[in-house]
Structure 1
Amino acid sequence: MKKNVFFSVLLLINSFVNAQDRMSGRIWATRSEVIAQNGMACTSHPLSTQAAIEILQAGGSAIDAAIAANAMEGVVEPHMNGIGGDLFAMVWDAKTKKLYGLNASGRSPYTLTLEELKKRGLKHIPSTGPLPINVPGCVDGWFELHKKFGKLPMERILSHAINYARNGFPVHDELATSLAAVPRLYGQFPNVKEHYYPDGAVPKKGEIFKNPNLANTLEKIAKGGRDAFYKGEIPQIIETFMKKNGGFLTAKDFADHTSTWVEPVSTNYRGYDVWELPPNGQGITVLQMLNILEGYDFSKIPYGSTEHVHLFTEAKKLAFEDRAKYYADPEFAKIPVKSLISKEYAAERRKLINSDKAASRYDAGNPALKDGDTIFLTAADKDGNMIALIQSNYRGFGSGMMADGLGFMFQDRGEMYTLTEGENNTYAPHKRPFHTIIPAFITKDNKPFVSFGVMGGSFQPLGHVQIVMNIVDFGMNLQEAGDAPRLNHEGSSEPTGEKMTDGGVITMESGISYETIRGLMQKGHKVGYILGMYGGYQAIRVDADKKIYFGASDSRKDGHAAGF
């Protein structure tokens, strides 16, 4: 017995030292990648991953599996996502060897005008109540994806979510924490009490939570298709509820809703093509940052060093100024995407960075002169198809508004408009807002390499860039890239109208050295630690030659990667 313990300790020490060697002396907690041949699913909840794997094993495509997982996520993580929110996705289709992009975000109500919002004396759209609600795009997104890439019937795909909504599931750690805040944040809104704490108390960790109303809604969608959600009884229930409670969504808003298939855009970062979706999302921020950072030799700049964090932060400040000025619904504004993500524009912007001093502010560039709380999941199947899917209510559970008997809360994404006239992102009826949720994909030599995403509002582009750099510049594997300490910069200008004036603040997780922090302060940065964590991460890497998948899921949360 003692001998076994001795050798176990030796093995532990050896693996620890090897990890140090691999990471050039950097130490943080991580775990192994998951490796499988026939399929892979990585989500932020074990039951969602289980649903996806079961669909794959039944012969479903990666897209079927992702829809099943997303529906399950709306049941078990209602504080993050659900059918009251929006969806974006990128799909690698093995047959055509092409990457497809889907924008399934909703638009503002026809009947709510900028004049009405200003008449109320608002400087910003509030985050709760009826005003920040747009048409939910999630369900239409499911059916657009399924029509193009699905194999199994939707009744089969949604069966897991329907079952767990009807029969219940044990509340997990993260949901329990979020549920505890429901009375304070949403208790004043109709139907919330009856839904989240029908017995007078919010469910605690390990207690069974049921949502029969959501089960019924999902069942109608499974049987009646997307029109069951966007036409007929459900939108009529919603319109009646909104009129009764000061809202503006109508059945016409639902009937006129459409998703949009878009061409993903990319930049090459040291031999790897990094793909994002164009606006109204913030994905091209990632490409702008990578283009700026490519001008520095990170083979000579250690991970977590003062120089690494400083250059990363300054690149972020520059890109976010363009993000605040230009990103919006392309149907309402001309956005110079090609110039914004060009190498030439990045070279001009890079000249503004002082390697020795933090900038208190930057102005947005002028590229047009040269131009003529969220879930992420990913799945891959035996045929080589892969999907990166992200879906969200925006802030927590959403707006607080729950239509009678439907079992879900509406998103509050409309908070992201600005009420300043003449801006790209100024509020208008039937307009998509600036969006934070972004899926990501990496290809190499025109072959799929990694599908991934990082949750967390405005942090998401920073998270994407850190993942790419961790893999490409710092040699981390897929799991290590997500577990490495993250850093954020807060205080940049935002599309909602806020302006950066004092350089903002770098906040970071534990694991960044005090030497680095001192160095950053000497350069003029304000620095702080985060109490908690940044985002959540899921990823799949494919070895296209060996036909093997590697899966990773964030150790900070309840997520789970699995394959078969």
Structure 2
Amino acid sequence: METPAGVNAEAWAPVRMGAQGAVVTNHPLSSMAGMRILMSGGNAVDAAVAIGFALGVAEPQGSGIAADGFMMIHMKDAKSLSIANGTGTAPSAATPERFADGIVTNGILSVSVPGICDALLSAHERHGRLPLADCIQPAIELCLEGVPQTHFQCNLAASHDLLHSFPASAAIFAPDGVPLKPGQIRRNSDLAKTYALIAEHGREAFYEGPLADAIVAFSEQAGGILTKADFAKYRMEWQDPISTTYRGKTIYEAPPNSSGHVLLQELNLIEHFDVAALGLHSAEAIHLMVEAKRLAFADREAFLGDSAFVDVPLEGLLSKEYAAERVKLIDPERAAEAVAAGDPWAFQNRAPAAGKSPGHAGSGMGEMRSDTTHYCVIDRWGNAVDGLQSLSGHFGSQVVCPGTGMLLNNRMNYWHLDAGHPNLLQPGKRVRHTMNPVMVFDRAVEEGGALGLCCGTPGADVQVQVNMQVLSAIYDHGLNVSEAIHAPRWTHIQTGMTSAYPHSAGSPHSMVGEDRFGDAVIGDLVGRGHPLKKVGAWAGGASMGAIQVSEFGSYHAASDPRRDGQALVF
């Protein structure tokens, strides 16, 4: 099919090219906030802070300052790559016994200690160039001047009753007693005051001062379990990334409690096949990627948890030798009827640590209910940030803390309650996360490797599989970032291996593919044993954003037409 912007393949919008900076986010106004900072002399971290705060105003269904997130930060001159892990912890009173009747999916009992605020502020303290107040100012202005409610946001909000019935939430999302319509201006003056407090007083305002007091007081009044001590002892964590190689490139990901290792395992598996020779969007290539995804997710279910509590066998999971064993389970002609976790410990040069669970395979499956937001930014000096933030479900807990304008997360819905599960709920533990920022270099970053790509997407358990599709499109088939993002998309969910709780053991696995693949490809995949359902041309899920660095040093940016995203360059 001929499309208006395709070069090597279909594309409905051209790659946006710039020489001094690039920003991609899931909302035009948050992209503009980041670009404003870049054009004012700020670096990528300054712009990421502006974006992180602006997203809570512009895209409240996916993010907010009372959310969680990861930031992958590359500082070019220092040859450094680090992870700011801003994922929150379970309250000290959160035990399996406390939730014996089941995990709560909205309201105050679904709220964990927020972490992204500490990550944003710590990243700025370590790497920022402009004053913090300057970076937060664009978001304050958005709160006061207002943001038009998009069609996408209205459609999501329609099914979230608490968002329109809880008084502090309704004041923002249904101020006249009815939900906002597309184009209506959504303002949040309380959130402007919250942002101003943080701009002036930093993390102390959020974790030790008036904002922590407000959230804890609201929690106590509403029957929640958050305490001032939970906030006071919270700290974000600086981590080293994990990596593998694929087609001569070095792919970096976030370590546990992120699901980043799943993408790296997928790539380790599919590199055993000549994916390029199989053809772009061929049934053969899609089949192999789905089967690789299934094997990697089986390992995630068995082994992934907070590494402070669980001994995750990362060396084994990422071993090329382990992948060579696991790939033998992939039948190139037929989908496996069932998949099970492997034994990465056999490829790990040590035994499981005493006192930590080595994990075990769980069971059951829940439907995907998560939402997240992704952004990436590169500055004129070649520094880059790839970030994800999430309230967990759409609009999080759906409750706004009175007087603060902050939507609170519902991250507690990701916990497991089965004894021995690596993601078992424990006080002070970080839950298993689907968020996974991605950067690609031409060789190891500490050896002076050059950044080639940063990318990512919201979408719960869809994230790592969509990232795999985009990376394969670029590095196996030579597509540019716009073509790779606009390509037809498939997503696959397997029994027992999604993140949202509660799990239902009887749920079958499922797969969807956009109808742009064509009936022949879809029929072939069904014939191979995949339970594929055809969906609309752009209904495959997720919302990818990416910036590629060309051989000439220019920045090529693209966003996903499946949501409200925007790529900007200068």
**Structure 2 length as normaliser, TM-score?**
0.91
Q: Which amino acid aligns with 1:300?
A: A
Asked if 2 retains the 8 angstrom alpha-carbon contact of 1:378 and 1:540, the reply is yes
Secondary structure of the 2:512 match is: strand
- Residue number in structure 1 paired with 2:367: none
CA distance in structure 1 between the partners assigned to 2:327 and 2:508 by the alignment: 17
- Residue number in structure 1 paired with 2:396: 398
Report how far residue 172 of structure 1 moved: 2.1
- Residue number in structure 1 paired with 2:189: 212
- Residue number in structure 2 paired with 1:449: 452
Secondary structure of the 1:524 match is: coil
Asked if 2 retains the 8 angstrom alpha-carbon contact of 1:491 and 1:500, the reply is no
Asked if 1 retains the 8 angstrom alpha-carbon contact of 2:83 and 2:239, the reply is yes
**Alignment CA distance shift 1:497-1:126 (3 Å):** closer
- Residue number in structure 1 paired with 2:484: 481
- Residue number in structure 1 paired with 2:520: 515
Q: Which amino acid aligns with 1:395?
A: G
**Alignment CA distance shift 1:365-1:185 (3 Å):** farther
- Residue number in structure 2 paired with 1:151: 129
Specify which of 70, 73, 93 is matched with residue 52 of structure 2: 70
Specify which of 468, 472, 489 is matched with residue 471 of structure 2: 468
CA distance in structure 2 between the partners assigned to 1:192 and 1:384 by the alignment: 40
- Residue number in structure 2 paired with 1:160: 138
The answer to whether residue 554 in structure 2 is matched with residue 548 in structure 1 is: yes
CA distance in structure 2 between the partners assigned to 1:282 and 1:388 by the alignment: 15
- Residue number in structure 2 paired with 1:92: 74
The answer to whether residue 438 in structure 2 is matched with residue 440 in structure 1 is: yes
Q: Which amino acid aligns with 1:393?
A: L
- Residue number in structure 2 paired with 1:8: none
Report how far residue 291 of structure 1 moved: 0.5
CA distance in structure 1 between the partners assigned to 2:494 and 2:506 by the alignment: 8
Aligned pairs (5 A) from 1:530-549: 530=535, 532-543=539-550, 546-549=552-555
CA distance in structure 1 between the partners assigned to 2:180 and 2:508 by the alignment: 42
**Alignment CA distance shift 1:498-1:292 (3 Å):** farther
- Residue number in structure 2 paired with 1:58: 40
Aligned pairs (5 A) from 1:493-512: 493-494=496-497, 498=503, 504-512=509-517
Report how far residue 390 of structure 1 moved: 0.7
**Alignment CA distance shift 1:16-1:491 (3 Å):** closer
Counting aligned pairs with the same residue, the percent is: 34
**Alignment CA distance shift 1:282-1:511 (3 Å):** same
Specify which of 4, 15, 20 is matched with residue 38 of structure 1: 20
Q: Which amino acid aligns with 1:225?
A: G
Report how far residue 134 of structure 1 moved: 0.9
- Residue number in structure 2 paired with 1:171: 149
- Residue number in structure 1 paired with 2:364: none
CA distance in structure 2 between the partners assigned to 1:341 and 1:493 by the alignment: 22
The answer to whether residue 106 in structure 2 is matched with residue 128 in structure 1 is: yes
- Residue number in structure 1 paired with 2:563: 557
Aligned pairs (5 A) from 1:279-298: 279-298=256-275
- Residue number in structure 2 paired with 1:271: 248
Report how far residue 187 of structure 1 moved: 4.2
Report how far residue 398 of structure 1 moved: 0.4
The CA deviation string for residues 229-268 of structure 1, in whole angstroms up to 9 with x for no partner, is: 1112111111111111121111111111111111111110
Specify which of 302, 305, 319 is matched with residue 342 of structure 1: 319
- Residue number in structure 1 paired with 2:295: 318
Question: Any unmatched runs of 5+ in structure 1?
Answer: 1-12
Secondary structure of the 2:109 match is: coil
**Alignment CA distance shift 1:558-1:497 (3 Å):** closer
Specify which of 254, 257, 264 is matched with residue 231 of structure 2: 254
CA distance in structure 2 between the partners assigned to 1:462 and 1:242 by the alignment: 37
CA distance in structure 2 between the partners assigned to 1:18 and 1:32 by the alignment: 5
Secondary structure of the 1:177 match is: helix
Asked if 2 retains the 8 angstrom alpha-carbon contact of 1:360 and 1:501, the reply is no
- Residue number in structure 2 paired with 1:110: 92
CA distance in structure 1 between the partners assigned to 2:504 and 2:291 by the alignment: 16
The CA deviation string for residues 117-154 of structure 1, in whole angstroms up to 9 with x for no partner, is: 11xx22xx132122321111111011111011101111
Q: Which amino acid aligns with 1:537?
A: M
Report how far residue 405 of structure 1 moved: 0.8
Q: What is the total number of aligned residue pairs between the two structures? A: 540
Report how far residue 399 of structure 1 moved: 1.1
The answer to whether residue 506 in structure 2 is matched with residue 529 in structure 1 is: no
CA distance in structure 1 between the partners assigned to 2:220 and 2:152 by the alignment: 34
The CA deviation string for residues 20-52 of structure 1, in whole angstroms up to 9 with x for no partner, is: 7x23xxxx4421111111111111111111111
Asked if 2 retains the 8 angstrom alpha-carbon contact of 1:63 and 1:149, the reply is yes
- Residue number in structure 1 paired with 2:221: 244
Secondary structure of the 2:308 match is: coil
- Residue number in structure 1 paired with 2:373: 375
Asked if 1 retains the 8 angstrom alpha-carbon contact of 2:3 and 2:11, the reply is no
Question: Any unmatched runs of 5+ in structure 2?
Answer: 351-370, 444-448
**Alignment CA distance shift 1:412-1:16 (3 Å):** closer
CA distance in structure 1 between the partners assigned to 2:206 and 2:438 by the alignment: 28
CA distance in structure 1 between the partners assigned to 2:194 and 2:502 by the alignment: 37
**Structure 1 length as normaliser, TM-score?**
0.92
Asked if 2 retains the 8 angstrom alpha-carbon contact of 1:304 and 1:513, the reply is no
**Alignment CA distance shift 1:492-1:281 (3 Å):** farther
CA distance in structure 2 between the partners assigned to 1:177 and 1:17 by the alignment: 28
Report how far residue 401 of structure 1 moved: 2.8
Report how far residue 454 of structure 1 moved: 1.5
Secondary structure of the 1:511 match is: helix
CA distance in structure 2 between the partners assigned to 1:500 and 1:482 by the alignment: 33
CA distance in structure 1 between the partners assigned to 2:460 and 2:168 by the alignment: 27
Asked if 2 retains the 8 angstrom alpha-carbon contact of 1:359 and 1:503, the reply is no
**Alignment CA distance shift 1:501-1:245 (3 Å):** closer
Asked if 1 retains the 8 angstrom alpha-carbon contact of 2:6 and 2:483, the reply is no
Q: Which amino acid aligns with 2:112?
A: N
Q: Which amino acid aligns with 2:300?
A: R
Q: Which amino acid aligns with 1:451?
A: C
Specify which of 208, 228, 245 is matched with residue 231 of structure 1: 208
Point out the structure with max Rg over C-alpha: 1
Report how far residue 501 of structure 1 moved: 7.7
Secondary structure of the 2:561 match is: coil
CA distance in structure 1 between the partners assigned to 2:252 and 2:535 by the alignment: 29
